[in-house]
Amino acid sequence: MFEKPWREIDWGNNAELLKELTEYAPQNEDVRHLRVLVYGPVGAGKSSLINSMTSALLRRMAIPAAVNNPQGDEGSFTLQYKSHRIRKGRGQTRSYFPFVFNDIMGLEHDQNVGVRADDIKLAMMGHVKEGYKFNPLSPLSTSDKYYNPNPGPDDRVHVLVLVLSANCPATNTEVIKKMKEVRQTARDLGIPQIAIGTHIDELCDEIEKDVKNVYKSKSLKRKMELFSAEVGIPLNCIMALKNYSEGEMKNNPDMDTLLLTALKHMVDFGDDLIEEMSCTANGS
């Protein structure tokens, strides 16, 4: 453990983060919601991340929007393109947060399993319609009814989030190759990128005892540096957090701080792209 954390986190300031996230709205009126595309290997914690950020925002355990059911036929292997929204308020005042999450299993070393890199590209560009079931063996064709030929500004992806487990051995070279391809595409499309390291509690006992130790752990820092080198995402765009998994009944404020901080980064990054899009549209 380092004596001092190598990254400063504003613990105990959830109210401010919640306020900023609750008040957020895209300034571009053509964009109803900011779209976050979450990808990564199966089991990394993508569905859990969406559920955990929902819990952190609502300050209560929420019925999972992205159900993770390893036994069920849906389960982690679902290849359907589906947007997850987060409900804000209840009854008469019911509305949704202006961000949506899409979750795809994109990084399997077995090329017969995961979503294809060319399909991830189509999703980033907004060409994939809700409900499409990805086929690992063939890309979505332009004649398919799930192909959207004219994506609107909120069909496209505004921020790309790579989820990796910190508790995994070195990443497979095929997977790294595919990640690089996806990352390159995102860069060409001007889509900002963030990486999230999950399962940090399983990597380090001190983090398991207290998540506030996250940026004091030497093993986690090494792991994040390794991620950064492997996937080519700068260290300052990689965040670590612990997801809620089975067992928790109540929010943990420190876990929420990490979740909300990560969500705030996603929204800030995505909003940069939305701003840029409106400048381009206005010709300025």
Ligand X SMILES: Nc1nc2c(ncn2[C@@H]2O[C@H](COP(=O)(O)OP(=O)(O)O)[C@@H](O)[C@H]2O)c(=O)[nH]1
Contacting residues toward ligand X, per CB under 6 A = 40, 42-48, 68, 76, 198-199, 201-202, 242-243, 245-246
Opening angle at CA 39, ends 163 and 13, nearest 5: 45
The three-class DSSP label of residue 16 is: helix
Q: In angstroms, give the least distance from the CB of 205 to ligand X.
A: 13
Q: In angstroms, give the least distance from the CB of 52 to ligand X.
A: 8
d(CA 207, CA 260): 18
Return the one option of ligand X, Mg ion, none that residue 245 interacts with (CB less than 5 to 8 A, by type).
ligand X
Q: 144 or 202: whose CB is closer to ligand X?
A: 202
Strands (E), 106-198: 159-165, 193-198
Q: In angstroms, give the least distance from the CB of 186 to Mg ion.
A: 20
Write the CA distances from 242 to 31, 140, 146, 154, 208, integer angstroms. 31, 34, 35, 29, 9
In total, the chain counts a number of residues equal to 284
Opening angle at CA 86, ends 88 and 201, nearest 5: 120
* String of contacts with Mg ion for each residue 13-52, x by CB under 5 A: ---------------------------------xx-----
Q: 45 or 153: whose CB is closer to ligand X?
A: 45
Q: In angstroms, give the least distance from the CB of 92 to ligand X.
A: 33
Q: What is the token pair recorded at 126?
A: 């907004």
d(CA 258, CA 124): 26
Q: In angstroms, give the least distance from the CB of 46 to ligand X.
A: 3
Nearest alpha-carbon partner for 111 in 178, 53, 26:
178
Q: 31 or 182: whose CB is closer to ligand X?
A: 182
Return the one option of Mg ion, ligand X, none that residue 261 interacts with (CB less than 5 to 8 A, by type).
none
Element (H, E) at 228: helix 218-231
Q: 148 or 198: whose CB is closer to ligand X?
A: 198
Return the one option of ligand X, Mg ion, none that residue 48 interacts with (CB less than 5 to 8 A, by type).
ligand X
Q: In angstroms, give the least distance from the CB of 132 to ligand X.
A: 18
Q: 24 or 101: whose CB is closer to Mg ion?
A: 101
Backbone angles phi, psi at 35, to 5 degrees: -105, 125
Nearest alpha-carbon partner for 182 in 98, 73, 105, 106:
106
252 binds Mg ion (CB under 5 A): no
54 binds Mg ion (CB under 5 A): no
Number of residues that bind Mg ion (CB under 5 A): 3
d(CA 266, CA 100): 11
d(CA 264, CA 162): 16
Q: In angstroms, give the least distance from the CB of 84 to ligand X.
A: 12
Return the one option of ligand X, Mg ion, none that residue 5 interacts with (CB less than 5 to 8 A, by type).
none
Question: Is the separation of the CB atoms in 197 and 164 below 8 Å?
Answer: yes
The structure tokens 């036994």 sit at 71
For Mg ion, the binding residues in 76-105 under the rule CB under 5 A are 76
Q: 28 or 78: whose CB is closer to ligand X?
A: 78
Q: 16 or 74: whose CB is closer to Mg ion?
A: 74
Binding interface with Mg ion (CB under 5 A)? 46-47, 76
